[in-house]
Amino acid sequence: MRAIGQDIFGGPEVLRVVEVDKPTPGPSEVLVRVHAAGVNPTDSWHRGSGGLFGKMVRLGWDVSGVVEAVGVGVTLFAPGDEVFGMPRLPYAAGTYAEYVTAPARHLAHKPTNLTHIEAGALALVALTAWQALVDTADVQPGQRVLIHAAAGGVGHVAVQIAKARGAYVLATARADNHDFVRELGADEVIDYTTTDFEEAARDIDVVIDTIGGEYGPRSLRTLRPGGIIVSLASPAEAALVDEAGPLGVRAGFMIVEPDNGGLRAITELVEAGALRPHVETVLPLELVSKAHEISDNQRTRGKIVLTVA
């Protein structure tokens, strides 16, 4: 089968189409014929340096496709089922390919009102936002939630999930993305290029930080006593815990995990009309280097998706 591989760490140019053996599902796994695979910043991180483990892996974690075969013990799916998910993260999944195997409970039935391209954009960013907002911060109706980079992959989904939870959402974005972010449901949008968000956002209950660096410490000052910042940017942001304590707030770094229950909750929101991924760019698998060039520019609104089948 066709897949994307690389021989060295580096920029988008190191990615190329290779021929590899079609995988076989093991016990509790399914074989998925890939229709679409989302592109995420973690893909570039692993391409350039090997990510958390510092070694080369087959890229791609977002997937939407059709079950072709099931391994021993699988009861959730049958051949022909349309599925989506985010298998194996942070370990290699290899969804930039014509076929991929995945633990059955790392997938869920594809939302009926999404195309494979839309579903291929959804799992990683939606699970990240869900686990940050719901599982970690336990956002409640009426709480004030600040979401950084609200027009980006995680951000644009986080705005919708926070609104579905009944929160009052403040969002940072460039001026040319303000209308887009408001359409997602944001109550206030802050132009971070002209406005100090520390002054514009006050008495915040929850901050979702997808940027890192100085944004973490600065965001601590926006929190009310007892508030929490969830950092998604870098393991180094775990140092925020020490800064947060004296201020009477909480901080933590989170890595998204595969989660069938979370995927099913996300599907319910999608099918209820409360959540929809925005796909900015669609490219064929062969143009993976171009997709990574666009992603590395960090100006993408929503998601980039590779089409396979």
Instruction: Indicate if the pLDDT at residue 259 is higher than 90.
Output: yes
pLDDT more than 90, % of the chain: 92
Q: What is the pLDDT of residues 76-129, one digit of tens each?
A: 999 999 999 999 999 999 999 999 999 999 999 999 999 999 999 999 999 999
Same topology between domain 2-122+277-307 and domain 125-253:
no
User: How do the domains of the chain map onto residue ranges?
Assistant: 2-122+277-307, 125-253
pTM of this structure? 0.96
Distance, CA of 93 to CA of 116 (rounded, Å): 18
* Average confidence score pLDDT of the chain: 96
Q: Please provide the distance, in angstroms rounded to a whole number, between the alpha carbons at the two ends of the chain.
A: 12
**CA dist 30 → 82, 108, 142, 163, 308 (Å):** 12, 11, 41, 34, 18
Fold type of domain 125-253: Rossmann fold (3.40.50)
Mean pLDDT of 8-25: 98
Write the pLDDT tens digit of every residue in 73-82. Answer: 999 999 999 9
- Give the list of residues 6+ apart from residue 175 with CB closer than 8 angstroms, or none: 191, 193, 194
CATH pick for 2-122+277-307 out of 3.90.180.10, 3.40.50.2000, 1.10.10.10, 3.30.70.100: 3.90.180.10
Per-residue confidence at 149, pLDDT binned at 50, 70, 90?
A: very high
Please, what sign has the CA dihedral across residues 44, 121, 277, 90?
negative
Q: Is the dihedral of CA 212, 142, 277, 193 positive or negative?
A: negative
Residues in the chain: 309
Return the H-helix or E-strand segment holding 269: helix 260-271
Longest Cα–Cα distance in the chain: 57
